[in-house]
Amino acid sequence: PQKWKAKLRLIIVFKKDRGDRNRQKDMAQKLAVQNGVTPRRIALIKKKFERQGAPPCRMRLREWIFRIISLLMMILLFTILGLFLSKPELYAKFKPPGEYKLSGWQTCECCFITNIEKLFSGHRDIPSQYLNRKLFWCFNNVDDAKHFCGDDY
């Protein structure tokens, strides 16, 4: 019991702020040595509390496994998102709920634009990449969606 009390005192002293606790530390060390705690055990206890900020896995195999799994999941997520954004057919059925603003609830009306000329001021202003391509676009109200996507919206 005395040995355990001495160890406990050592642990308490090492946990406390080390500003002006040197005298208390020395007394606890002397008492611990008198009660049978070896200097090697004292050094191990000191080392345990001086090692602050050590990672929980300390670069062991399980940390590398965790890092590799995280990397693979991130690559998979970006691949899926990239494919999802490059093919409008995949997200054409998506109906976003809109957003709440100070002016009220703003809905999102999404559709494929059939009249691309209406988006640009003149036929010459249309970039060549948009000429023969249907664009998927979201508008704030139904009237704009009907104007750009046609009356069958």
Q: Tens digits of per-residue pLDDT, 8-49?
A: 777 777 666 555 567 777 778 888 888 888 888 888 877 776
User: First CA to last CA across the chain, in angstroms?
Assistant: 84
Answer yes or no: pTM beyond 0.85: no
| 93 in the same domain as 81 | no
For residues 31 and 67, membership in a common domain is answered with: no
pLDDT for position 74: 98
Distance CA(18)–CA(121), nearest Å, equals 73
Same domain flag for 92 and 125: yes
Both 113 and 136 in one domain: the answer is yes
More confident residue, 86 or 57: 86
Q: How far is CA 96 from CA 78, 100, 106, 146, 153, in A?
A: 21, 12, 11, 17, 16
Containing domain of residue 37, as a range? Answer: 2-50
Residues 63 and 45 occupy one common structural domain: no
The percent of residues above 90 in pLDDT, for the chain, comes to 8
Q: Is the same domain home to 103 and 140?
A: yes
Name the domain count of the chain. Answer: 3
3-state secondary structure 69-97: HHHHHHHHHHHHHHHHHHCHHHHCCCCCC
67 and 93 in a single domain? The answer is no
